[in-house]
Amino acid sequence: MAAEPKPQLQLEIAHVLFIDIVGYSKLLTDEQRRQIEELNAAVCSTDQFRSADTAGKLVRLTTGDGMALAFFASPAAPVRCAVEIAEKLGSTLPLRMGIHSGPVDQLSDLNDRPNIAGAGINIAQRVMDCGDAGHILLSKRAADDLAQYAEWSTNLHDLGEVEVKHGVRVAVTNFCFDGIGNPALPEKLKSAARAKRRRKTRCLIASLMLLFVAASVTWLLFGRSPSRHDEIASLPEKAIAVLPFENLSAEREDAFLAEGIHDDVVTSVGKIKELTVIARASMMAYRGDAVTGKLRDVGKALGVANILQGSIRRSADRIVINVQLIDVCNARQLWSERYDRTTKDLLSLQGELALEIARQLRATLSRTEATVIATKPTENPEAYLVYLRARETETAHRLGATREDSIAAAKLYQQAIDLDPKFALARARLSLCSADISHPDAEWQKELAEPQEALRLNPNLGEGHIALASCHWRRHNLEAVLAELDRAEELMPNSIEVWQIRASVYRLQDKVRERIVALQEKLLTAPMELNNWRVTAITLADLKWRWVWDPIRNDARFQKNLANPEPKTVY
């Protein structure tokens, strides 16, 4: 029986107007209802809305505290509609609006009503999120389209770039004139300006540090064997970066799914010894529009010849994942696939992807590697979804969120374990997450029980050995830490967590050269993390001065003077 053809994405350019009511969540329920009704009435009475709706050139979405309107006609349509709304409502409703023109995919929701997803609507929302009450903000693309016309050009005021969700940077333009829009600089951009000044100060310090790093690393590498220099200078051909997966789901909450599956895929591919896999933290800046048309540059920056891109769309119990593996050196697609899964079928996805990537890159897997990668994390789909939420919360903590995020992640891991007591990976991650939360010594045995139980359930769980090493680290049992790390490295050769803990152990043991090797392994898989370079530079400096001091300290005459110091003369 012939396989059914796979549906292709039907991308169109939409001109999106995203609107929400500022402070909506703080209102009483009846006041929320009144404001939404007032907004709906004003929007539906605008000429732009009526004409586009009549012509079938409009898709409208409700978002709880506002709406999104996707026009499929003139790029000026969302701006004209925004102006009409501002004129009708004035200051009676605290609205903020964002406008962007970009690709969208039309689909239907569970009620068979028109819906859209894609970068066009996502960026419009992020642009809107930059504003305060009264602001009408445009993306650079939307502003460039309007700047060609005298009617609009004098009303466009460039505000520069600002960082939005997931580290993405967007260029924002303020649209205002004669009481329409808000001419004030948005608070988010004011904060960005203050942060920029602080960054300049840090950059000055970092520049000096990087100069020292460059000199120190050059000294270290050229002082070692040429083969080691070649290994550091150019990464192996079987090096890959798995870029953050794009969330194309209609629901913003489903971002956790894209984040969690991306993290699982990175971890699974990282268990293949023949591959060099870039750590997740070094890839977070490369998502969405930030990599469009720049894959060769991204590959060069990360030191990889291969890049995996992916997107995820969830609708009820169906999850569609599109992936493509690209050889950036030769600008060609090696492989692509579309997976249409239920939540239950999702449990084996990361293993299937890792095995296919290994096949495409001609990496040979040992029997243990194949078994470890193919093992499902759990048989309970509900527990797995809770685990993905916990993982997204925990990685947000790693990227600078609050301690409360770490506590929230620990609660979610515990919830996943309650749903499936045999969920070994969740137990290991709960233990690692708990390391960020201070506990009295009396609870150490309780913390130790989680990784021990995880390894009882799955002896080949690399995360379990890392968690057990972390527990021993907190008790300064350094030999036990290194023993667990040796086993973890066998199972997860690309894990940056292994080398982070190992470098810390060598620091306490005063093993400078061993620590440098560990730090070099971190630099290999996390090339974009400045702190790794800073710590390496400090360690190199320590080693350099030790070479000056050790000959003096070991000199026989010096030792004799230490044992028999000459009597001091008192005047």
Using DSSP, state whether 20 is helix, strand or coil. strand
Q: Where are the beta strands (DSSP E) in 216-328?
A: 239-242, 246-247, 276-277, 306-315, 318-327
For residues 313 and 569, the model is more confident at: 313
Q: What is the pLDDT of residue 232?
A: 34
Contacts (Cβ under 8 Å, ≥6 apart) of 363: 238, 272, 274, 275, 357
Backbone angles phi, psi at 256, to 5 degrees: -60, -30
Tokens of 125: 């929302």
pTM for the model stands at 0.55
Dihedral, CA of residue 282, residue 284, residue 290 and residue 295, to nearest 10: 50
- Average model confidence (pLDDT) for the chain? 78
Residue with tokens 């045999």: 422
pLDDT at 549 over 50: no
Residue with tokens 């605008």: 46
Distances (CA, A) of 327 to 279, 336, 353, 364: 19, 12, 17, 19
One-letter amino acid at 434 equals: S
Using DSSP, state whether 105 is helix, strand or coil. strand
Q: What is the pLDDT of residue 226?
A: 40
Range in 90-104, 131-145, 290-304, 508-522 with the lowest mean pLDDT? 508-522
Q: Which residues pair with 173 in a beta bridge?
A: 138, 158
Tokens of 57: 């050139």
Tokens of 462: 């690399």
Q: How many CA atoms lie within 13 A of 351 on its CB side?
A: 14
Nearest-angstrom CA–CA distance, 562 and 543? 23
Range in 4-8, 245-249, 349-353 with the lowest mean pLDDT? 4-8
Q: What is the pLDDT of residue 146?
A: 87
Q: How confident is the model at residue 15 (pLDDT cuts 50, 70, 90)?
A: very high
Residue with tokens 């942060």: 195
Nearest-angstrom CA–CA distance, 528 and 485? 24
Q: What is the pLDDT of residue 548?
A: 41
pLDDT at 1 over 60: no
Mean per-residue pLDDT, 253-259: 80
Distances (CA, A) of 230 to 224, 236, 427: 10, 10, 40
Tokens of 243: 């870029």
Residue with tokens 């009676």: 92
